A and B are shown apart, each in its own frame.
Chain A
């Protein structure tokens, strides 16, 4: 089943074109990896999916991003972002307690019942593999957690609003290998219930977790295929060069 369908998408910041005629589909319950050198438009593409780009005043786009067959520009942006969650490159807990960080999303969407909030928080933290580590100190500041824990907290916060899709923007770029492994574990388990899109600078990470991998270069989609295919026999020379580390 197709979750996101992107048709002939172009995007500009000022007069610089950052995405150039992108066509691709994101399939339900897959992990789509997106790799490519910096400035290749990966993050901009990701931020198209929850319309975060439109916060920039000099952003312009043409083409269509469809979520379940519906043009995302027609969907109310708050509702869209509730359905399409995002985990950022740097773990960025809000300046609140651990509990309030996770409960934040549920609260802004109108949940006030304390019991229900507590359940939502526990479930989300469990799903993000953080519950055991923080269950005794839910009221301490989120800044006291380690970087890896903070990133899993951000995943939990995203899960707490019950999204359908989760966008990961280089979620492990600031983490050590052990924390990275935990985040990757969490992603593989989340696949069952969510659709994941993973932008990463770490080619090997895409190889480890992604079902399909897309290679972006200078705002263009060069190749999209099953991850094994991309990493063993890519059909495009540039893809081959990039994953072998010849440039990028």
Chain B
């Protein structure tokens, strides 16, 4: 009887494990099937590197370089803002802050992570966008820069909490060993703790950036959504994610446009996959 029970439980767990892989595989296959259909009418090269995205003109022009660059600019801007602040914050929490302050800060970071992206987008729209417009004297504040700033807020909790974990998990003995040689606190952080935690910090950055690339709602609300080739970070852009979200509803099922949106999905999938694998490699390098 006991053996029988063991058997059933074991198989049930196995089933759960398989289910997760199975569904991922199904989703991926579906994405692939729908996306690949596009390439009977347009070459991969033109799809990726062409400059015009006019899905409803006739004939439709489905070239996503402006969207890729849109995503790129927004992500780059968000990374430049969030990485130094995020890593700095992690160092402060892990190393400098008094235990009580540390608890408060960690709670704050968790709260920041809990803000829904649409709320961030909304706040950005009414506060940041007019400010950007005024400061840079632009015709509109809906720019890649606005998107970058808001997305930096979304990447920060991920970066801070994972980098802080990495710093915290360094054996205390490293720190004492360095201080006992007469090193200052900052020398210890800079020469011992950061190198020791580097793989964890890189992973934190990658996961933060991954979150930015995949983010849709906030960018759709505040980047202006113009599918034009951006020349600077102060222009409206449209990201890959926002394109899918905005156009999927109106694309005719089975049309070229519809397939193109799926193809964008594949591109996003590949980007996220590469980032996650890189992060994972760094996380496991530690061991």
Residues of A within 8 A of B (CB): 50, 52, 55, 57, 78-82, 85-86, 88, 90, 92, 94-96, 104-105, 107-109, 154, 157-158, 161
Residues of B within 8 A of A (CB): 98-99, 171, 173-174, 176-184, 187, 191-192, 195-196
**Residue of B with least CB distance to A76:** B182
The answer to whether A108 touches B180 (Cβ under 8 A) is no
The answer to whether B174 touches A92 (Cβ under 8 A) is yes
B-side contacts of A79, CB under 8 Å: 182
A-side contacts of B184, CB under 8 Å: 78, 108
The answer to whether A92 touches B171 (Cβ under 8 A) is yes
Q: In angstroms, how far is the closest chain B Cβ from the Cβ of A158?
A: 7
8 Å CB contact of A94 from B98, B99, B192: B192
8 Å CB contact of B181 from A55, A57, A95, A158: A158
8 Å CB contact of A55 from B176, B191, B192: B176
8 Å CB contact of A88 from B99, B177, B182, B191: B177
Q: In angstroms, how far is the closest chain A Cβ from the Cβ of B43?
A: 49
Question: What would 7 A/B residue contacts be, using CB atoms closer than 8 Å?
Answer: A79-B182, A85-B180, A92-B173, A104-B181, A104-B191, A108-B183, A108-B184
Instruction: Give A89 to B250 CA distance when docked, in angstroms.
Output: 69
8 Å CB contact of A105 from B98, B174, B182: B182
B-side contacts of A57, CB under 8 Å: 98-99
Instruction: Give A157 to B177 CA distance when docked, in angstroms.
Output: 10
Q: In angstroms, how far is the closest chain A Cβ from the Cβ of B99?
A: 7
Q: In angstroms, how far is the closest chain B Cβ from the Cβ of A99?
A: 14
> Assuming A92-B177, A104-B191, is B183 touching A78 (CB within 8 A)?
yes
A-side contacts of B191, CB under 8 Å: 104, 107-108
Instruction: Give A95 to B175 CA distance when docked, in angstroms.
Output: 11
Instruction: Give A105 to B179 CA distance when docked, in angstroms.
Output: 10
A-side contacts of B182, CB under 8 Å: 78-82, 105, 108-109, 161
The answer to whether A88 touches B181 (Cβ under 8 A) is no
**Residue of A with least CB distance to B181:** A105
Residue from the set A82, A108, A157 with the largest chain B CB neighbour count within 10 Å:
A108
The answer to whether A104 touches B180 (Cβ under 8 A) is no
Q: In angstroms, how far is the closest chain B Cβ from the Cβ of A100?
A: 9
Instruction: Give A53 to B152 CA distance when docked, in angstroms.
Output: 39
> Assuming A95-B196, A108-B191, is B178 touching A86 (CB within 8 A)?
no
Instruction: Give A108 to B99 CA distance when docked, in angstroms.
Output: 28
> Assuming A57-B99, A78-B183, A78-B184, is B196 touching A104 (CB within 8 A)?
no
A-side contacts of B181, CB under 8 Å: 81-82, 85, 104-105, 108, 157-158, 161
Instruction: Give A81 to B184 CA distance when docked, in angstroms.
Output: 10
Instruction: Give A104 to B181 CA distance when docked, in angstroms.
Output: 9
The answer to whether A86 touches B174 (Cβ under 8 A) is no
Residue from the set A81, A86, A95, A96 with the largest chain B CB neighbour count within 10 Å:
A95
The answer to whether B174 touches A52 (Cβ under 8 A) is no
> Assuming A88-B173, A108-B187, is B178 touching A55 (CB within 8 A)?
no
B-side contacts of A85, CB under 8 Å: 180-181
**Residue of A with least CB distance to B175:** A55
